Amino acid sequence: MESHEWNERTDEGKRYFRASYHAQKWTILTTLKTDPDWERLETDQVPEEVWRALRDIIWRKYQRKRLPWERVAELDKILGDEPEEK
């Protein structure tokens, strides 16, 4: 299982995200700094900005040879950014 974490500043306060990849499936959790409980985001309800932030993190880890290319390609497929086949 892989786990990736990042945070963003929002109008509500500092929001934390945790994305886990297990059994070829992504699970994304989120919470505010002031809230002790993590909220699970359903895969079809995850905003595109969150997927793009995760893809950026995965891309940077791939460049440092910490992850395989398949993780980046899978997120591109979710975002609809995969290259066209000839």
For position 1, what pLDDT does the model report?
Answer: 87
For position 40, what pLDDT does the model report?
Answer: 96
Is 80 exceeded by the pLDDT of residue 84?
Answer: no
Closest CA to 75 of 46, 38, 39: 46
Closest CA to 10 of 35, 43, 41, 37: 35
For position 21, what pLDDT does the model report?
Answer: 94
Half-sphere exposure of 4 (CA within 13 A, CB side): 21
For position 43, what pLDDT does the model report?
Answer: 85
